[in-house]
Amino acid sequence: MSENSVKSPWPGPAGLIPVTNGKAEDANVYNRAFLDRIHVEMRIVDAVKPDLTTKIFGRTYASPIMMPAFSHLNQVGKDGQKPMVQYAEAAKALHVLNWVGMEPDEEYAEIAAAGADTVRIIKPFADHEVIREQIRFAEAHGAVAVGIDIDHVPGKDGGYDVVDGIPLGPISSEDLSAYVKSTALPFVAKGVLSVRDALKARDAGCGAIVVSHHHGRIPFGIAPAQVLPKIKEALAGSGMAVFCDCGIDTGYDAYKVLALGADAVSVGRGILRPLLQTGSKGVENKVKKMNAELSELMLYTGIPNTRSFDSSVLWA
């Protein structure tokens, strides 16, 4: 798909973006509009039911739709329920890759004990010793990869953010490189939204990136799926895995992002309501429905497996 054809997701003259209020939520609205403007052509002759199995970090999973790197949800679980553990249980049952965000070691251990393959995403803590310790803890608890959400450095006061009273701080290329060298696990830079940062992650030795704006942390952020093809092209031959999230709520959304170049995608707030309402079963049902939608659109467009996505089916 040509870049120009998806330049502006807004109706009206090309490139004319309407006035917005400047809140970070704008990035989510823009992202939704971007995905909704993409349509697909049909390639049904010779098409067969697709195989959704997907290799990630050398392991085979049932689907390219993964869990999100959520956090803090045990604080809102009803009747002592632990949503962080419940979505890990759903990942295990669905045989998909699980991700976990900012959780203290004790809670991480409990989540890991659910038995799903898990990636631990650590905050860019100002105290780098905490990052190193959490990497070691994740290794000891069987994580399949570790990483940092590099898009969570700025706070709303224009300085470095503070989460749960813990100061965050900047992450340099040298820091990334040191973390990569400190572990035998693949290291993930989560929150890449430019070719420039993608190349820095590659040069630091990261095994993977998540193209993401963390559901709109950056005000007026472009859609992750919009910059994804350029990033994919820039990382060609690097061997890095390129994941993507933000606004993926249906299997049709997942299809578009996979066709734009993602190796796998995470569904974020799309699982939040079913998770908080009906626990792991709700998440399982949501992802099963998404898998069915993904399979449906792959069948309509003649994509036989998750290694065969083709952006030439997309129109905008």
Ligand X SMILES: Cc1cc2nc3c(=O)[nH]c(=O)nc-3n(C[C@H](O)[C@H](O)[C@H](O)COP(=O)(O)O)c2cc1C
Interacting residue ranges for ligand X, rule: CB under 6 A: 68-73, 101-102, 121, 149, 190, 212, 214-215, 245-248, 268-270, 272
Identify which of residues 218 and 316 has a Cβ nearer to ligand X in the complex: 218
Q: Min. distance of Cβ 73 from ligand X in angstroms?
A: 6
Q: How far is the CB of 46 from ligand X (least distance, A)?
A: 34
Give the nearer residue to ligand X in terms of CB position, either 186 or 270: 270
Quick one: 50 or 68, whose CB is closer to ligand X?
A: 68
Q: Residue 224 or 302: which CB sits closer to ligand X?
A: 224
What minimum distance in Å lies between the beta carbon of 2 and ligand X? 26
Q: Are 286 and 271 in contact (CB under 8 A)?
A: yes
**Minimum distance of ligand X from residue 190's CB (angstroms):** 5
User: Whole-number minimum distance, CB 288 to ligand X, in Å?
Assistant: 18
Residue with Cβ nearer ligand X (67 or 313): 67
